[in-house]
Structure 1
Amino acid sequence: MFDNFFRNLNKKRLKDDKYLYLFDTPIKGEYVSLDCETSGLNPKKDEILSIGAVKIKDNKIIMRDTFNIFVKPSKNIDAESIKIHQIRPIDLQNAIEPQEAILKLLDFIGNRPIVGYYIKFDIAMISKYTKRYIGIKLPNETIEVSSMYYKTRKKTSEYEFIDLKFDTIMKTLDIPELGKHDALNDAIMTSMMFLKLKDMTPAKTTFYTN
């Protein structure tokens, strides 16, 4: 009940009816795996530098339909943040303005559920921009692969530690690494995690509505 209330409230705040499709019921079996590289870990002050995404349809990763874009920051990125995201000033020379990037992303995602690794952070970052440009937070359902993975681990006690690091999940699931960790590669690897975990726990896939 409360989900519907907040969903309808969000819908009323939409500035452009063109994006009403974000609230439509998604087609069954279709998802988008998404990853963002950012200038830092604070959604309030940091910025998106790149976005990678790939569509999933009928348990297949659609490699011919990917999204990979660099986003122009409002200020120069510092050396410390480069060590984390590995995006250099030269990589951003042909980056596009944030508004164009985000609106292109909305067209790519549509109303599909969004799959990700610690996806709440990515959604918070994207929603900062969507609120500015279309008046609302991103309304799509989200699926967290680390939560799916956690449910597959058998614990000998309630105090046992479960390692949820990206590389650990990859290794445990025997998923190949796709070279360097950039937004698109991470989105593709996350989509592989999702499909493998979905087969392992088909009844336990959990959706989270923002």
Structure 2
Amino acid sequence: MSLFSWLRPTTPVLGAEQQLRLQRLPVVTELNECSLREQRWVVLDLETTGLNLNKDRVLSIGAVVIEDGAIDFSQQFERTLQCTDLKLAPSVLIHGLGPSAIAAGSDPVQALLEFMEFVGDSPLLAFHAPFDQHMLGRALKDHLGFKLQHAFLDVAAMAPLLCPQASLREAGLDDWINWFKLEVFERHNASADALATAELALILFSRARQQQIHSPLYLQQRLSQWKRRQQAPSF
């Protein structure tokens, strides 16, 4: 064996049926100019072993669908992923996923395949989306050899863009829930947080339409412009 062979990423070994399902996933296209209401959105939340982008792993996936301008409760997704050699981090005190729940979870390959079939070609929404995008992308690459190419829009950036009067800087999901006076009865598990994010997103879509932002593509462009302004040095 080569001295440096351990540096090379290993290619996941999938069964024939899994390979076929992977190949049948739809080709993802860029966001278009359909209306925000017409677009099917998948609202995602992940629970992970920690916040290290390179070392920590996905423990659970929760997702709901926004379609026809409302949360479609007939389309929900929730999986806990089996995770071997897991060292419990302080985050377990928040999301409550202990060793027994993780041991009884789904095989990661099967769970991730099912999730991508659930997503289809829909764009994804998440609160602090760059973290979820990176962690999901790494899990898909590690377990399926699959490259995530879906559009990800960050609800944490949408909120201050569309509601500057709130004067909430670097606010968390709870801050925006409180500002909009949303009634959220459960938090800090993937499904509950995805639902809370979806409720917030629906309010923000309404604010977007009031500001003449009518399409997913235009919303994405406005978010990119807003982020560049936030990152620009002030003199």
TM-score interval, normalised by the smaller of the two chains: 0.7 to 0.9
Q: How far apart in 2 are the matches of 1:151 and 1:22?
A: 30
> What is the aligned partner in structure 2 of residue 197 from structure 1?
204
Residue identity in the other structure for 1:97: D
- Deviation of 1:79 (Å): 5.0
Q: How far apart in 1 are the matches of 2:117 and 2:69?
A: 22
Q: How far apart in 1 are the matches of 2:24 and 2:109?
A: 15
Mean CA deviation greater in 124-133 or 79-88: 79-88
| 1:108 partner SS | helix
| 2:220 partner SS | coil
Q: How far apart in 2 are the matches of 1:112 and 1:79?
A: 32
> What is the aligned partner in structure 2 of residue 11 from structure 1?
none
- Deviation of 1:45 (Å): 1.0
| 1:69 partner SS | strand
- 8 Å Cα contact 2:58/2:81 also seen in 1: yes
Identity percentage of aligned residues:
25
- 8 Å Cα contact 2:49/2:89 also seen in 1: no
C-alpha RMSD over aligned residues: 2.5
- 8 Å Cα contact 1:33/1:191 also seen in 2: yes
- 8 Å Cα contact 1:34/1:51 also seen in 2: yes
Q: How many residues align?
A: 191
> What is the aligned partner in structure 2 of residue 109 from structure 1?
119
**Match 1:174 to one of 173, 177, 181:** 181
Q: How does 1:62-81 map to 2 (within 5 A)?
A: 62-81=72-91
Q: How does 1:11-30 map to 2 (within 5 A)?
A: 16-19=22-25, 21-24=26-29, 28-30=38-40
Matched, 1:59 2:66: no
Q: How does 1:1-210 map to 2 (within 5 A)?
A: 16-19=22-25, 21-24=26-29, 28-154=38-164, 162-202=169-209, 203=213, 205-206=219-220
Query: Larger radius of gyration, structure 1 or 2?
Result: 2
- 8 Å Cα contact 1:50/1:70 also seen in 2: yes
Q: Which runs of 5+ in 1 are unaligned?
A: 1-14
